[in-house]
Amino acid sequence: MERLGYDPYKLIESAQLVQSEYDLGEIGAPDHEAGVCAYSVNAGDMTPEELSLSAAEDAACFPVPQVDDPAVAMDEAMGALREGIEDAKAKGTSIEFLDELQTILEETVDVIRLVLGGDPPVDIPPMRIKLKSEATPVRSRARRYSSAHREFLARHVKMLLDAGLCYRNPSSQWCAPPHIVPKGDGHRMTVDVREANKRVVPLVWSMSILEVEFDRLRGMKFYFSLDFFKGFWQFAVAVDCQEVYSILTEDSVITPTRVLMGGTNSVSYVQSTVQAMFGDLFDNGLLIWIDDLLGYADSPEELLRILRRVLTICEEKGLKLNPKKGKFFMAEALWCGRIVSGGGVRHDPARIQALRELPAPSTGQELQQFMCALNWMRMSLPAFNKLINPISQFVEKVYTAAGGRKKSLVRRVTLREVNGSEVELAALQSCKEALEHALTLAHQDPEKRLCVFTDVSDEHWGAAITQVPQNHLHRDFADQHHEPLMMRSGTFSGGAKHWAIVEKEAYAIVETCKRADYWFVGLMVSVCSPITEI
């Protein structure tokens, strides 16, 4: 049982919770196979010849669902943990912290994994899938794959089957086609579950809004980050619901026993169950974003206390973590694409540098992706709409030429076809230069005065929300220490272009205050614009 990933003692404890005594006479006729197993346990010493065959016989009868040598994988995982400890040491932590960290990691070493399979799912209620009343099964057509994709798909499906994460299902009424995408030097299998998703009743769950959650980090000095190993694959699907997301391969249909990424309720199920799993730690020393955890504290001792609790819960529930992605001591943390610290939030410099080094886009899809990446950073970029307006107008021409806004349509349009000019190239370069000066946004401090600054032109409006110490308000503006909280901007279109300047100024103030209203409740706010000062 242990080799199959189950703890016999936990199974017995669970059975005792259901019933304190069991009458084995009710199970019917004697089980001769069980008798053979019992005899083998109580048999005398084996001969050397029998010992040499025992392991092979056990492996044949009770195959372990794993894809790699567990000893090699555990050595690699332990090496990753040692690197994590060395990383903490290099960041200047104390000897006492390192000793306690090593003790915690050694006590909870079973939570780390680098091998897929061999473990039961996380010990929480499985995900249930409710179908709409009029839902009918989805049967997709087989797709054609290149030889390289076929080889990868065969290996990947075998790995899932060997790991016990899927099973062949010749009677399935549902199936969705796999889609192979490039990933680094290899490939990754995704599944096109769009048609199945249309037939599933969506769950309602509130996902954290990161710009709000990050304010919890104000004043926090120390962090750790953890990442689930193979995230969604650790969470079970109820047996009677598994068939909905079956996968059509080249030679069969396989049905996953675990949660499939991309399913209608996959994200909400994982987020809600992980929040429940960590209980009062959630938003009280631990931020959770699906399968990424960020621990925070104002002292090393408190950080270790939170880390111990998190790892203990993972051990109790059977949740496995990736040791290669764990960081155990940081003064600032890279989490969800941003660098966070007690002083504020900024975008990952590596991501910014990658965007700045991108070659000029040649197709509508490449331009669309660049626009989306910029839009994700707009709160840190002053006058964003004015900066990006020439590109926005050009993208509209691309959409017109493509006949729609979908990626599948715009990828067919080259920018040369829609007469891309030096104006658009210059605007692209201006955007890349602006990225270098993206702001670090402070955490909102209720002890400081909030300030809203707005300005407008004929076509655009812009705003900045800052905070300043109360005792700076009597100083000259140049001597006040303003910390940026948010940049806002917009473009006047349609009838709004013809508004009077005073109306545009009022609009900028109202829109900015509506966007950040959660900061303004119960606090004094200074609003500064060319038309008024409140």
Domain positions in the chain: 8-61, 349-435, 449-528
Average pLDDT in the 493-519 region?
93
Predicted local confidence at residue 71, as pLDDT: 66
Burial class (CB in 10 A: 0-12, 13-18, 19+), 514: exposed
The helix/strand count (H/E) of the chain reads as: 17, 16
Q: Note the pLDDT tens digit of each residue in 137-166.
A: 999 988 999 999 999 999 999 999 998 899
Q: Note the pLDDT tens digit of each residue in 299-321.
A: 999 999 999 999 999 999 999 99
Which carries the bigger pLDDT value, residue 48 or residue 503? Answer: 503
Query: 66: Cβ–Cβ under 8 A, 6 or more apart, which residues?
Result: 115, 116, 117, 118, 162, 163
CATH for the 449-528 domain, from 3.10.20.370, 3.60.15.10, 2.30.250.10, 3.40.640.10: 3.10.20.370
- From CA 50, how far away is CA 73, in angstroms rounded? 29
pLDDT band (50, 70, 90) for residue 9: low
Name 74's bridge partners. Answer: none
- From CA 149, how far away is CA 147, in angstroms rounded? 5
Which carries the bigger pLDDT value, residue 118 or residue 198? Answer: 198
Predicted local confidence at residue 182, as pLDDT: 86
> Given a cut of 80, is residue 24 above it in pLDDT?
no
- From CA 67, how far away is CA 418, in angstroms rounded? 51
190: helix, strand or coil? strand
Count other C-beta atoms under 10 Å from residue 55's C-beta: 9
User: How high is the mean pLDDT of the chain?
Assistant: 87
Q: In this prediction, what percent of the chain has a pLDDT beyond 90? A: 69
Q: In this prediction, what percent of the chain has a pLDDT beyond 70? A: 86
> Given a cut of 50, is residue 434 above it in pLDDT?
yes
> Given a cut of 50, is residue 217 above it in pLDDT?
yes
- From CA 35, how far away is CA 22, in angstroms rounded? 19
Predicted local confidence at residue 252, as pLDDT: 92
Least confident piece of the model among 234-243, 310-319, 354-363: 354-363
164: helix, strand or coil? coil
Least confident piece of the model among 185-189, 334-338, 344-348: 185-189
> Given a cut of 50, is residue 13 above it in pLDDT?
yes
pLDDT band (50, 70, 90) for residue 345: very high
Query: 205: Cβ–Cβ under 8 A, 6 or more apart, which residues?
Result: 268, 271, 272
**Structure-block tokens of residue 19:** 């019933």
Give 229's DSSP letter: T
